[in-house]
Amino acid sequence: MRRPTQYPISTKLEAIGLLESMSCRELARVLKVPRRTVRTWLAQRFELLAYDGNKKNNKLEPGGRYKEFPDPPGLVEFITHVRDNERVLTTTHMITWIKVNQREWFLNYLATQKPDAAYNSLLKLLQRFCNRHGFSR
């Protein structure tokens, strides 16, 4: 099955501008996109016109979302404290901190994950957390 083509927001905005002088059918033929796609852009016109981000993006909202962690500033403070003391910090140390300070969230997180992948999922979550907050390996 062929993957649907994604168009940058700049193309969508250009199409919306051209719709004032052309019909959906003509515009679809000129831009070589399906008519349904042009009609979808027309339905999204207010969101597209209000968009002030990078026009090279394909989507108005980024896909997916981060897993929520209950106390990001606390964990960042812990990481900074350990690193300031020039100690080695591993994800295992962070898990220990979470077990002590966020036990309820920790148990709930493990319960909602697949049993054989829960720990690895938590490790990956913490690695992404560190990456997002500017901590390198």
Q: What is the pLDDT along the chain (137 residues), one digit of tens a residue?
A: 788 889 999 999 999 999 999 999 999 999 999 999 999 999 999 999 999 988 998 888 776 666 677 888 999 999 999 999 999 989 999 999 999 999 999 999 888 888 888 899 999 999 989 998 888 76
Q: Is 89 helix (H, G, I), strand (E, B) or coil?
A: coil
Question: Which candidate, 35, 46, 33, 39, places its Cα nearest to that of 6?
Answer: 33
Q: Could you give the domains of the chain?
A: 1-61 (1.10.10.10), 72-132 (no CATH)
Distance CA 8, CA 57 (A): 5
pTM: 0.53
Q: Which amino acid is at 52?
A: D
By the 8 A CB rule, do 15 and 31 touch?
yes
